[in-house]
């Protein structure tokens, strides 16, 4: 059920970006930009987890989007939509907010790599 909910939120973000006047490929192009926050892991697990999780909080995405809409800055609104869509996509694929134990430890559980 959670994956269905996240898929719905991802579709909502895509739809809102289209309503804002952006084409589908611009949405796709910017979708992975929030993962730049992984750079925080260069400063250790705790800093990495805090920086990564900050930029993957949906509350931040909603705040950025609303502020952009209220002050009539479409690029800021789009940034909020991208943050929201990216966070939904991450959670849909099993990546969640990070714990300081390491990148593979999330609020959705540990990310396991297939060992074949």
Q: Report DSSP letters for 62-77, one per residue.
A: HHHHHHHHHTT-HHHH
Instruction: State how many domains the chain has.
Output: 1
Q: Report whether pLDDT(12) > 90.
A: yes
Examine residue 116 and state whether it is found in any structural domain, yes or no: no
In a domain, 113, yes or no: no
The answer to whether position 69 is within a domain reads: yes
- The string of pLDDT tens digits covering residues 13-58 is 999 999 999 999 999 999 999 999 999 999 999 999 999 999 999 9
Within 10 A of 51 (CB to CB), how many other CB atoms are there? 19
| Residue-level pLDDT at 14 | 98
Nearest to 36 by CA among 59, 54, 17, 12: 54
Residue 100: the pLDDT is 79
Distances (CA, A) of 65 to 5, 21, 71: 20, 15, 10
Instruction: Give the CA distances from residue 34 to residues 29, 75, 80, 86, 113, in Å, rounded to whole numbers and listed in that order.
Output: 11, 15, 11, 7, 22
- The pLDDT-based confidence of 101 (bands split at 50, 70, 90) is confident
pTM score, two decimals? 0.86
């Amino acid at each position: 059920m959670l994956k269905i909910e996240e898929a719905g939120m991802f579709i909502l973000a895509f739809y809102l970006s289209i309503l804002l006047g952006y084409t589908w490929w611009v949405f796709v192009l910017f979708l992975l930009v929030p993962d730049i926050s992984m750079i925080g892991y260069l400063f250790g697990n705790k800093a990495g987890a805090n920086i990564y999780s900050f930029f993957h909080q949906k509350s931040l995405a909603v705040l950025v989007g609303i502020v952009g809409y209220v002050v009539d800055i479409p690029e800021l609104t789009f940034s909020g939509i991208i943050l929201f869509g990216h966070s939904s996509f991450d959670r849909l694929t099993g990546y969640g907010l990070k714990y300081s134990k390491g990148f593979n430890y999330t609020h959705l559980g540990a990310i396991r790599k297939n060992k074949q």
